[in-house]
Amino acid sequence: MADDGTWTGADRPTPRPSGAPDEEPDGLFGIEEIRTGREVRRPQGPLFRDSPRARRMLSVREIHAEPGAAASPRGRRILADFPDAEVVFTDSHWRIPHLHGNQGNAERWVRIKSTVLVLGEKKTLTVRPNGRSADWIAPGAANGCAMACAYCYVPRRKGYANPVTVFTNVDRIIARLARHVTAQGPKREPNQCDPSAWVYDIGENNDCSVDALICDNTAELVDAFTRWPTAKASFATKFVNPDLLLLDPRGRTRVRFSVMPPDDSRLLDIRTSPVEERIAAAGDFLDAGYEVHFNLSPVVIRPGWEEAWAELLRRMDDVLPPRVKEQAAAEVIMLTHNADLHEVNMAWHPRAEDAIWRPDLQQPKRSENGSWNVRYRNDVKAAGVETVRALVDRHAPWLTIRYAF
Ligand code: SF4
* Dist. CA 94 → ligand 1 center (Å): 19
pLDDT at residue 191 tops 60: yes
| Strand pairing class (128-129; 136-137) | antiparallel
Rounded Cα–Cα distance for residues 227 and 234 (Å): 15
Mean confidence (pLDDT) of the chain: 88
DSSP single-letter state for residue 404: E
Q: Which atom of ligand 1 is nearest to the CA of 206?
A: 3
Q: What is the pLDDT of residues 222-267, one digit of tens each?
A: 999 999 999 999 999 999 999 999 999 999 999 999 999 999 999 9
154 lines ligand 1 (CB under 6 A): yes
DSSP single-letter state for residue 310: H
313 lines ligand 1 (CB under 6 A): no
161 lines ligand 1 (CB under 6 A): no
149 lines ligand 1 (CB under 6 A): yes
Which pTM value belongs to this model?
0.89
Q: What is the pLDDT of residues 62-100, one digit of tens each?
A: 999 999 999 999 999 999 999 999 999 999 888 887 776
Q: What is the pLDDT of residues 371-391, one digit of tens each?
A: 789 999 999 999 999 999 999
* Dist. CA 290 → ligand 1 center (Å): 21
pLDDT at residue 194 tops 80: yes
147 lines ligand 1 (CB under 6 A): yes
Task: Give how far the C-alpha of residue 287 lies from the chain's centroid of Cα atoms, to the nearest Å.
Answer: 21
Beta bridge partners of 253: 233
Rounded Cα–Cα distance for residues 283 and 277 (Å): 11
Q: Which atom of ligand 1 is nearest to the CA of 144?
A: 3
310 lines ligand 1 (CB under 6 A): no
Q: For the chain, what is the radius of gyration of the CA atoms?
A: 21
Going along the chain from its start, the domains and CATH numbers come out as: 31-404 (3.80.30.30)
pLDDT category of residue 156 using cuts at 50, 70 and 90: low
pLDDT at 393: 98
Is the preceding omega at residue 298 within 30 degrees of 0, hence cis? Answer: yes
Query: Does residue 60 or residue 14 have the better pLDDT?
Result: 60
Beta bridge partners of 63: 87, 117
Rounded Cα–Cα distance for residues 294 and 276 (Å): 13
Q: What is the pLDDT of residues 266-285, one digit of tens each?
A: 999 989 999 999 999 999 99
